[in-house]
Each structure stands twice: as structure tokens, then as C-alpha cells.
Amino acid sequence: MGILAEFSGPESLKAVAAELRQAGYARFEAYSPYPVHGLYEATGRRRTLLPWLVMLGGTAGCLAAILLQWWTNAVDYPYIISGKPPFSLPANVPIAFELLILFGALAAFGGVMVLCNLPEPYHPLFGCAEFRRASADAFFLSIDAADPLFDLKGTADLLRALGAASAEPYSRPQTERRVPGYVKATIALLLAAALAPPAYIAQVRFSRKSSPRLHLVLDMDFQPKYLPQQHSPLFADGRAMRPPVAGTIAAGAAIDDAHLLRGETGGQPAELFPMPVTMELMERGRREYDIFCATCHGLTGDGDGATSQVVVLEREEPKWIRPLSLHLPTVRSQPAGQLYQTIADGVRTMPSYASQIPVEDRWAIILYIRALQRSREGTLNDVPEELRKQLESIHDDATSYDDQN
Amino acid sequence: MSTIHLDDNMTQLPARRARLVLGKADCAAVTETVCAIVEQKRTPPAWYAAFAVSLAATGMFFASIGYLIFTGIGVLGNNNPAFWAWPIVNFVFWIGIGHAGTLISAILFLFRQRWRTGINRFAEAMTIFAVACAGVFPAVHVGRIWLVYWLAPYPNQMDLWPNFRSPLLWDVVAISTYGTVSLLFWYLGMIPDLATLRDRAKSWWRRSLYGLFALGWRGSAGQWHRFEWAYLLLAALATPLVLSVHSVVSFDFAVSQLPGWHSTILPPYFVAGAIFSGCAMVVTLAVPARGLFGLKSLITMRHLDNMNKLILATSMMVGYSYAIEIFIAWYGGNPYEAFAQLNRALGPYAWAYWLMIACNVLVPQLFWFRKCRVNIWLMWIIAVLVNVGMWMERFVIIAASLARDFLPSSWGMYKPTAVDVMMLVGSFGLFFTLFLLFCRFLPMVAMAEVKTVLPRDEREKSD
Amino acid sequence: MMQHHTTIKIEDDRTHLAASNFPAVAASIAVGMILLIVAGAIGRPAGQGDSYTLLAASYLVSYLFFLSISLGALFFVVLQHLVRAGWSTAVRRLAEILAANLVWWGILFLPILVPVLLGKSDLYAWSIPGAAAADELLRHKGPYLNPAFFAARAVFYFVVWGLSAWFFLKWSTRQDESGDPAVTERLEKTAPAAMILFGLTVTFAAFDWLMSLTPEWFSTIFGLYFFAGSVVAALAAMILFAAALQAGGTARRVITIEHYHDLGKLLLGFVVFWGYMAFSQYMLIWYANIPEETVWYLERQTGPWTWITAGLLFGHLLIPFLGLLSRTVKRSRVLLSFWAVWMLAMHWIDLYWLVMPTFAPDRLPLGIMNWLCLSGVGCLFLAGVLWNARRRSLVPLGDPRLNESLAFENF
């Protein structure tokens, strides 16, 4: 309810607004088809808070983005990918910037809607036919009846005196519509229903279950193929896993080197080594011998390794067959290839060491064994100069000890 | 001092700004010109014809996407080594086109370029539709599109989070933000014009529909004050947004270690290129639209002249970037980088490269000449060629670089399939369908903004 | 935006400097030369082997600081003509005067150029004879990075800049008397070519004088990065120039608060643009982590230089961004001048950060040398500005768009 007056243009509108403000009117509004500068100030109202809202929104967006990225990638499930640290600020800047803009824009849009009180479809002025031209090319001013200075005739006269082309009263249409109850109920129901998926996810996330997880999209997760250890009716032995075909050799291994792989030359056990004999090979042989062979054959090759000592001393097994001493004439006379075949295939109670000792290491061990065997029949002159003195001093210590005791 | 004609605003007088609206320049005339398009009872047959074609192309678009999803990525031409090909080229192409709309709306607004009011509404609409087209491509090229929700950070049974350090995630956030902010900006600006349509509507359903979206706008001084502030703030936000979005898209390439991709100038180079292609698309759309819809008094030759100058300016920036990349490729001494540049010019895709140079750098030079800037047919052809050139640029950057990267044993040629082509053509169909719907049902020109730039003496005749 | 009728009449306002400032000019030149000579005396090698290098580096920083102000001002002038701007007419003469120093600034480049030509440069390792022979990469760059071509390019840059600056100032001044609109059209027609030449010369000057300090390193965006910093510095200098003039009683009413507001907006925009350039360069190099590129940033992220890098992030970008956002700040001469001084300081730190780490990787050489060079070159710059400001209106009186500039109002 109030009075609607039409004016000819923005300048007169501004002047009238200023006049009304001077006269003490508070509840009046000026309408124009486009923004008129100075009009809002003429109505005497405060500047809008919108810039602050946008600043708040932007800051919130930036902080939310950084928090999100920090918590998800650096705290909850941290991992390093392509060398970037879990919390990498340079990599987080783009998203922080974008969310700053997004939240700021939402604040601007939401802010202007709220501050303008939009959507507002049922303003009384929409009942006025003339007011329809306000959005096209006409300038209006309305004074609300609730204004303390409002007087139906007096205010209309004042407006006409100030230059209004017309000043007619307007009123609220008779029917008033409220939002129906069932609409409100439906919206409430939908909101409650919308909470269901997050609730389900929360329940699933934080509880233990014995059944497998929800598998909505199967993709190629269940494929018609055999997995390891499964039974297969296709083969007689029922195994889906098949052993390698006879004659299979490891990738990269030499196929035809009988000397290297089987210790044979011309069908007979080889006498010679298939690779150059170096100090390095010897050292390697010593290392490998100490690891694999010394447990049974002893560090010096006498067959008095730890297993024998355990069996003989602790368990007192009378039927225990001691490992061979490597210095026996029967062993000394064996060619290198036969020693190789012993390691690779095993002999009597000694199992095959093929799975533990690679091919070259086997030859290295054999080289060391030859050194051990040689050491039993060697003389001091066989020892290199620099080590002779050491041996002599050890010998002197040992004999002097014996002499004393 | 020469006289100024009411039908022509091309005369340059330094002391006086040119008219931005020709003919009868008062509020009623502006309202009538724009609303008449929306309110006409009989849709022009030309519109129906264009709509039929674009709708058919849209159908082809969705059909090929459906085929792609049901059959698999193999129907596209993506292969080893060109894992990124036409889908990503199209994505970058469409996002780039969208940028000019925001430039015109937001950046030219901040620079107080009043001539933007004639074209900003449909440039913004162009942005929205371009972003919609662009967003489809990364979504469908992933392969398992039904899992694309994994890109969002929601708490899940696998305890996994997306890797926010990846530029692909930055893309997701940037494109969503860009789409949202552009939509908000476009819609906010349209509210007063929707109110105008609501107030002029004769039928109840028109009044209700426009009224629904006009949200009850009355045009009071208070509402205008807050509206102007919101518009200014959104413009101030959209300006860095438009720079950042295409920079984020450029990061997809620039953060890699590939020669030809890893170059620090890529962000501003891509942004300049985006604005370049977008301005060309605006001209491509504006030239027929102003003729078909009778908007020559609002989208004047001056507007087109200014757009063409923008096209020329951004063409120079793009040319500068090409030159600097070539120079530094030599200067840096990295043989792979140098090879990448040489390969572009002389390798198997040299035809695409030289087409790109011709369309992006050489052809726009015609706009130095005023005669070319104001010739309707020539400017339309140049604008189309610019868009061809910019599409070629993305193709050269993506497919040609991938086809010839570090190891010669990894080299391979890329060939698009029929599905690739159908998707590209179809995306144009989607774009034009949406645009034609916009032209028919929504106010094409920002009436309220144009009214603020009318010559004062004619706007306020009786004041 | 509607335009309001203006009541500002130019005749009411003083647009020339009050008195002849020839004594001031002479004094500036004298003081500047003395300061530089003292710097040179301290900088001679005396025990500390690298103090000459630090002198050269300090001189380079100070020289480029003032050069970038002039370059940014030239960009401003050319841009305003290119886009036919109206608001800036009242302040454009200030930029023209700041840019006019480019006419003779090449002379001050000699202390940098001559050592390069003599093969004794402390700054440019590639220019030492024999350096290229030892390093394959330098050999590769030889056709570009050699003293002769370097000198030729420098001459070219200064010719282009000097001619542009002189052209725009001369014709604008001529228009003061004649008021001929044809001058404006002529300047508008020249602007595009001037802008293209500007873009290319500034880019390659940045490559030559800053990027080649670390000859193995390269970055395609480097020219734009230097350009962004220059525009920030020029806008800050313009604000201070206007504030100083108005404090002295000149152009008190012609340059309105609206002009400060717009300069403030541009300053904010270019601060953000500088941040964008800096971040693009940093993030891309950080992300790809290729050693031949990261070496440059590693120098600036080890030891005490880390603080300067962090300082630039906060001081050159984040803090001034927040400070310049406010409309109130931009519409206050005092507050805006504060931020202008801040930005100039930050720009100097930016150049210091670009140049010094190559020569002092483990410490921050901040001492008397820097102040002497800065104030010495600064006095000479001031002398140039005062010289060009004398006997010339500080507002383009004859410009047809001056009325528009006086009348416009910000939102």
C-alpha cells in the first residue's frame, strides 16, 4: 500500500529523492530501468556490505582448499608421487586460488540475493500496470504507507508539486499465497532422504564388516581365468599351475655350455675350470664355502662342521654318517667336474645345492676346495713371501706355548 | 570538425567518444529492438533451418559418445605414443573459446570500455556453452566414465583421496569454478533484462517463466546499488579467474618434462591464445546474428572494429610466444627441445604447423588495414580461419609433440578415427544448438547496460 | 558510467614547476657522480678478490632498477595511446617525463658494456675470452652470447627506447601549444609499432642483461617477468611523482583523487600480474624438477637467500595485494604513496634477488656498496627527470581528451 509516482528522467528522480529525504521521508524507493549514479546516495542509505562478504567468502575458500589438500594428501593418506612431498604448497596453489574465486563468487551472488531480498515475486507494485514500464524506460518513485509521514492526499500532492507526471495509490492484491504445507513436507522429506547416502558411507567407513565391500561396478574384476593354486579339471594331476616343460632353462642362461652348466667335457667330468681362475674367484669361493658348505664339511674341509658336532656331541647318534672329509684321497682324485656335479645334483645323503648356489659360485667353491686340499700337502715354500713371516710367527707362538706346557 | 551521422559511429574524433548505439537511441528503442527477437510470434525459418542442422549434429555427438562408452577407448585414434589427441585438443579449444566471453564481460568492464555492452551478453552465453562442450571431452576420454566421480574428494571405502598435486585435478577444480562463476555472472547480469521480458510478456506462461527467473526484480535504487557492486565484484573475481583457468589448462602440459611442452611461458601464451580464439568466435557469431536478428544498431561496426583490433593484438601476443619459444629452444642448448621445434616445422605434421602459422600470425595481419576491419565478409572469413588456426595449434602442441618425443623407438604417427571427427563436429552441434536456443528465448543484448551508455541527451529527452 | 559536469578549470591550476630548477639538476648530477665515484673507489680489488664483482653487480641492480622505471613508464604512455584512453591524460605527461630518461640512459650502460667488450666483465662469464672454448654449452650459445652482438643489441635497444620516448614526449609537448587533434591521431597510429618494438626489445634486454648472468639457464617467460616488475615500479613512481608535485603546489586540482584511484587499481593489477609471472616460472620449474632449470632457483633457496625469496613472496605479492584491495587506500594520497614506496623497495629487492645470488651464493652482500650505487644512479635519474620537467607543462594541456580525464569518476 502506498503511492506510485512517475517522473520523466533520472535527474528529476534524484532531485525528488533528495527533497523527500530532506522532508523526512524514510520509506520510499526510486525505480529506474538502468542504474543511475548518485540515486542511491540521494536516498540516503548506507553502502552495501557486499565487498566484505566477498572477502570473507574468498578467504574461507582459500583456507578450505589448503586445509583439504593438506589433510587428504599429507595427513590422512600421505604418499609421495613423482617426488613431490606430501604437503607441497606450490602444487596446492592452483586449487587454493580457484576455490578462493569460487567461494568469493558464491558469496557475491548469494550476498546480492539475500541483501536485495530476492527472490521476491509478490511485491504489491506488481499489481500496478504502469509499473511494468519501470524495467523498460520509465522512472518511478514509490512511498510506502508505513512511512510515518505518509498521508494519502498530502504525499500525492507533494509529489505532483515536485514534478511527478502522475501520483496514484497502489495496494496489495487481495489474495495472499503461502507455501502449501505439503510442499514444505516434501522438501523436508527430500532433505532427510539426502542424508541417507552420507550416513551409509559413514557407517561403512567406520565399522568393521565380515562381508566384502559393495561392488557396484564390476568392471573386469571377475574374469574367466585360473588363479594360482586353483584346481583345474583339464589336467590329470588336477593342477591349474603347470610345471615348466622338460628342458626349460632360465632366461638369459647359456644353453649349450655343458662345461659350465654340467661340469662335463666330452661326456666326461671336466678337469679344468670353465672360467679364468682369479684371486677374486677364490675369495668368492671362500665366502660361499663358509656360508653353504662349512656347516657340514667344516671350515677346514675335515668334515667336522657344526652339524656333525651337534649330532655327535649333543645327540650322540651312533649311526650318523659324517660328511666326507675333503682331504681323503678319494675326494682329492675327483676331477673338478665331478665335484661340480656333486654340488649341483647332490650325492648320497647330501642334497642338491643347485637352488641355493648359482652356477658360477659353484665353480668358485670348487676352486676354494682345491686350495684347502693343496694346503694339506703344501710346504712353507709354497706360501708367498709376505705371508711366510706371519705363518712363522704363528708357528713360533704355537710351539713356544707347547714347550711351556 | 566533421558532423557525426546517426547511422555511423566510425568517425574518430579524439575529443569526443563515438556513439555506441546507432539510430534512435533511447531506452524504449533499445528495449524494443532486443525484446522483439524474443517476443516474435513466428520464429524465422532461418532459425529453424540452423536449429535442425545443429540438433542433428548434437545427436551425432551424443551417439558417438554413447558408442565410445559402450565399446571403449579403442574407437578413438589415441594410441601409443599419442595418448592425448583429439579429445584433449577439443577440450583446450573449447575452453579457450570461452575465455573471450569473460574477457568482454569482466576485463573490459574493469577497464571501463563502454562498447562492450552491445556484445557482452551473448559473449557470456558463448562462454557458458563453450565450457559445457569443453567439459564433455575430459569426462568421456577417461575410459571408465562411470568412475569419474573418483575425481571428487569424498570419503570412500577405499580410504583414498584424489592426488591434488596433479594438474589434472587442478583442471577439474578450475573448469568447475569457471563454469559456475561464468553462469552466476551471466545470470546475474540477465536478471534485470528477464524482468523487462516478464513485464512485457503477454501470455501467462511467458510471464511465469520469465518471472520465475527474474526472481522478482523491481529495479529499485537499493537493488541497483547492490547489483552494481555484485557485478563489479564478480568482474574483479572473474578477471583473475580467466587468467588462471587457462593457465591451469596450460599446466597440464607445462609441468611435464616433455620438450615442446615444458616451457615457462605457456601460461600467459595459452591465455593470450584463448582470448584470441574466443574473440574470433565472437565475431563469427556476431556477424550473422546482428544481421539475422536486426541488431545492427546495437552491435555496430564499431563493436566489430574493436573486436578485430583485439584479434590483431592477441595474434601479436601469440606470435611473440612462438618466436620466444623457438629462440629459447635454440638458446637453451637442449637438443630435444630444439628437435621438438624443428620437428613441428619440418616433421610429419609440418602441414598442420604451417597452417597454424598462416592462420594465427599471418592472416590476422590484414587487420592492420581499416578496410579489412570493417569489411563484413572478410572479417568473418578471417575469424573462422583464426579458429581453424587455433585448433591446429593445440593439435600441433599435443599430437605432433607426442608423436616424436625422446626415444626414436617410441615414435609413432597419429591418425584420428571417424568417431574423433564425429565428436568434434558434434561438439559444434551442441554449441550451436544451445546458442540458437539462447538467441530465441533469452535477451541477446544486455539492455540495462546498453541503456547506461546511451548518449545522455537522447536518453533523457524530456529531463 | 555517467559523466558528471566538471568544474575544474585548468587555468586555475599551476601546471608548470614553480621556479627554474637548473640548480637542482646540476646538484643532482654532481651528487650522483660523486657517490658513484666513491663506490668505484671502494669497489676496487683490495685484498678481497670479489669486491669488484659485487660493485659491478650492485651497479647493475641499481641501473636496471631505474631503467625499469623508465621502461614501465614508456609502456604506460604507448599503451594509453594504443587504447585511446581518456582517464589517464592528466597523468600521462608524468609518465612521458619518467620515460624520457631513456634517451640518455644508454650512457650509464657503458660501465657494464665496456668490460664485456674488453673481455674483463665480472658479471658475464660467457664474455671472458676462453670461456666458450672450455664449455660446450657456451660454445653453442656463442652466436648470440658474444661481446660484439651483445653490444650491437644494446645499442639497438637504446636507440629504439630513446627514439620512442623522445617521440612521444616531443609531440605531446608540441600539442600543448597547438591543441591539434591530428597530433593525437599521429601518436595513436605510431603506438602499435612502438608497442611491438617495446615488447621485443624489453624481452631480449632481460635475456641479455639478467638471464645471461647464469648462461646455462633459460626460461621463456623471463622477459615477461621483468616487464611485469617494470610496470609495477613505473606506476609506483608515477604515484610518487604526482604526490610530490602536488605537495609542492603544482597540478593540485588537475590530478584528482580519481587518477590516484585508477593508478592504484593498475598497481594492484600489475602486482597480481607480477605474482602470476613469478609463480608460473617457479612452479613449472619446481614441478618438472629438471636439474638444468632448478639450478637457478636452488641458488636462491639455499642459505640466507631463502629469506629473500620468502620475503618477495610475502612482500611483493601477498601483503601489497591485501593492502591495495581497499578502495579507501586507493583513494588516499598518503596511503597510496606508502604502498608506492613499498613497491619500489620490493622491486629493488626483486632485481637484487635476480642478480646477486650468482655472485654471492652463501651470503647477503648488503652494504655500503648497494646504497652508494642506488643513490648515485638515483641522483642521476632525478637529474634527468628534473631536466625534462623544466619549462614544460606537467599536464598535457593541448590534449583533446583532457576534459574527459578531468571529469571522469570512479564507481
In tens, the pLDDT along B47-66 reads: 999 999 999 999 999 999 99
> What is d(CA C270, CA A315) in angstroms, rounded to the nearest whole number?
90
Partner C contacted by B262 (CB < 8 A): yes
Does the residue B299 lie in any domain?
A: yes
Cell 558408442, residue?
A: B67
The answer to whether the Cβ–Cβ distance between A32 and B224 falls below 8 Å is yes
Beta bridge partners of B13: B16
> What is d(CA B399, CA B80) in angstroms, rounded to the nearest whole number?
11
Q: pLDDT per position in chain A (405 positions), as tens?
A: 888 999 988 888 889 988 888 888 888 889 999 999 888 888 878 888 899 999 999 999 999 999 999 999 999 999 888 888 989 999 999 999 999 999 999 999 999 999 998 888 778 888 888 888 888 888 999 988 888 888 888 888 888 888 888 888 888 766 666 777 888 899 999 999 999 999 988 887 788 888 877 777 777 888 889 999 999 999 999 999 998 888 787 887 666 778 888 888 888 899 999 999 999 999 999 999 999 999 999 999 998 888 877 877 666 666 777 888 999 999 999 999 999 999 999 998 899 999 999 999 999 999 999 999 998 888 878 888 888 888 888 888 887 766 665
SS3 B13: strand
Partner A contacted by C318 (CB < 8 A): no
With vertex at residue A54, the alpha carbon angle to CA A49 and CA A56, rounded to the nearest 5 degrees, is 95
SS3 C182: helix
* pLDDT above 50: residue C3: no
Per-residue pLDDT, averaged over C236-243, amounts to 96
- Smallest Cβ distance to B264: which of C83, C207, C220? C220
Identify the closest residue of chain C to B248 by CA–CA distance: C280
- Smallest Cβ distance to C224: which of B268, B328, B334? B268
> What is d(CA C276, CA B242) in angstroms, rounded to the nearest whole number?
12
Q: Which residues contact A19 (CB under 8 A, 6 or more apart)?
A: A162
> What is d(CA C385, CA B354) in angstroms, rounded to the nearest whole number?
48
The answer to whether the Cβ–Cβ distance between C283 and A91 falls below 8 Å is yes
Does the residue C10 lie in any domain?
A: no
CA of A25 to nearest chain B CA: how many angstroms apart? 16
What domain range includes position C365? 40-407
CB of B397 closer than 8 Å to CB of B82: no
CB of C126 closer than 8 Å to CB of C145: yes
Q: Which residues in C lie closer than 8 A to residue A93 (C-beta atoms)?
A: 279, 283
The number of beta carbons lying within 10 Å of the beta carbon of residue B365 is: 14
Does the residue C118 lie in any domain?
A: yes
Q: What is the pLDDT of residue A291?
A: 94
CATH 3.20.20.370 fits A267-399, yes or no: no
- List the strands of the sheet with A139-144, edge to edge: A28-31, A139-144, A2-7, A166-170
CA of B158 to nearest chain A CA: how many angstroms apart? 9
**C-alpha dihedral, A251 to A254 to A258 to A261, nearest 10°:** -50
Helix axes B167-200, A89-115, angle to 10 degrees: 10
> What is d(CA B448, CA B31) in angstroms, rounded to the nearest whole number?
9
Q: What is the pLDDT of residue C5?
A: 43
Does the residue C106 lie in any domain?
A: yes
- Smallest Cβ distance to B320: which of C137, C184, C199? C199
Query: How far are the Cα atoms of A355, C107, C314, C317, C364 from residue C310, in angstroms, in the given order?
Result: 59, 35, 6, 10, 14
Q: Which residues in C lie closer than 8 A to residue A35 (C-beta atoms)?
A: none
The number of beta carbons lying within 10 Å of the beta carbon of residue C193 is: 12
The amino acid that residue B279 corresponds to is C
Q: Which of C159, C157, C181 is nearest to C171 (CA)?
A: C181
Task: Provide the ipTM.
Answer: 0.93
The H-or-E segment that residue A167 falls in is strand A166-170
Q: Which residues contact A57 (CB under 8 A, 6 or more apart)?
A: A103, A104, A105, A106, A107, A108, A111
The amino acid that residue B276 corresponds to is F
Per-residue pLDDT, averaged over C358-386, amounts to 89
Identify the closest residue of chain B to C408 by CA–CA distance: B112
Q: Which of B90, B105, B85, B88 is nearest to B275 (CA)?
A: B105
Identify the closest residue of chain B to C269 by CA–CA distance: B240
CA of A252 to nearest chain B CA: how many angstroms apart? 23
Does the residue C35 lie in any domain?
A: no
Q: Which residues in B lie closer than 8 A to residue C191 (C-beta atoms)?
A: none
Identify the closest residue of chain B to C282 by CA–CA distance: B264
- Smallest Cβ distance to C2: which of A37, A51, A55? A37
CB of C284 closer than 8 Å to CB of B265: no
CB of C63 closer than 8 Å to CB of C199: no
CA of B328 to nearest chain C CA: how many angstroms apart? 6
| Confidence bin at C67 (pLDDT 50/70/90) | very high
DSSP-assigned states of every residue in A340-390: HHHHHH-BTTBPP-TTTS-HHHHHHHHHHHHHHHHHHH--GGGS-HHHHHH
| Confidence bin at C8 (pLDDT 50/70/90) | low
> What is d(CA B368, CA B363) in angstroms, rounded to the nearest whole number?
10
| Lowest-pLDDT range of A85-94, B302-311, C39-48, C193-202 | C39-48
Residues 83-142 of A with CB under 8 A from C: 83-84, 90-91, 93
Quote the DSSP letter at residue A158: H
Could you tell me where in chain A the CATH 1.10.760.10 domains are found?
A: 267-399
Q: Which residues in B lie closer than 8 A to residue A18 (C-beta atoms)?
A: none
CB of C290 closer than 8 Å to CB of B273: no
In chain B, the N- to C-terminal Cα span, in Å, equals 28
Does the residue C19 lie in any domain?
A: no
Q: Which of A1, A22, A280, A319 is nearest to A143 (CA)?
A: A1
Beta bridge partners of A6: A140, A166
Q: What is the pLDDT of residue C54?
A: 86
Query: How far are the Cα atoms of A380, C18, C23 from residue A401, in angstroms, in the given order?
Result: 21, 115, 108
Q: Which of B140, B135, B51 is nearest to B94 (CA)?
A: B135
Does the residue B430 lie in any domain?
A: yes
- The count of structural domains within chain B is 1
With vertex at residue A196, the alpha carbon angle to CA A190 and CA A199, rounded to the nearest 5 degrees, is 145
pTM above threshold 0.95: no
- Looking only at the bridges linking them, the beta strands covering A166-170 and A139-144 are unpaired
- Looking only at the bridges linking them, the beta strands covering A28-31 and A139-144 are antiparallel
| Confidence bin at C2 (pLDDT 50/70/90) | very low
| Cell numbers found for residue B147 | 568412475
Residues 69-108 of C with CB under 8 A from B: 83-84, 86-87
- The count of structural domains within chain C is 1
Beta bridge partners of A239: A231
Largest CA-CA distance found in chain C, in angstroms, rounded: 71
CA of B211 to nearest chain A CA: how many angstroms apart? 8
Does the residue B20 lie in any domain?
A: no
Beta bridge partners of A2: A144, A170
Q: Which residues contact A206 (CB under 8 A, 6 or more apart)?
A: none
Does the residue C209 lie in any domain?
A: yes
Average pLDDT, consecutive stretches of 10 residues, N- to C-terminus, chain B (463 residues)? 56 80 86 90 90 97 94 90 94 95 91 91 95 94 88 86 94 95 95 94 89 91 93 94 95 94 96 96 94 90 94 96 96 93 95 97 96 94 97 95 89 94 96 96 94 79 50
CA of C286 to nearest chain A CA: how many angstroms apart? 8
Q: What is the pLDDT of residue C73?
A: 97
Does the residue C8 lie in any domain?
A: no
Does the residue C188 lie in any domain?
A: yes
Q: Which of C286, A84, A62 is nearest to B166 (CA)?
A: A84
pLDDT tens for B412-429 read 999 999 999 999 999 999
DSSP-assigned states of every residue in C153-175: HHHHHHHHHHHHHHHHHHHHHHH
Partner C contacted by A35 (CB < 8 A): no
> What is d(CA B251, CA C320) in angstroms, rounded to the nearest whole number?
26
Quote the DSSP letter at residue B194: H
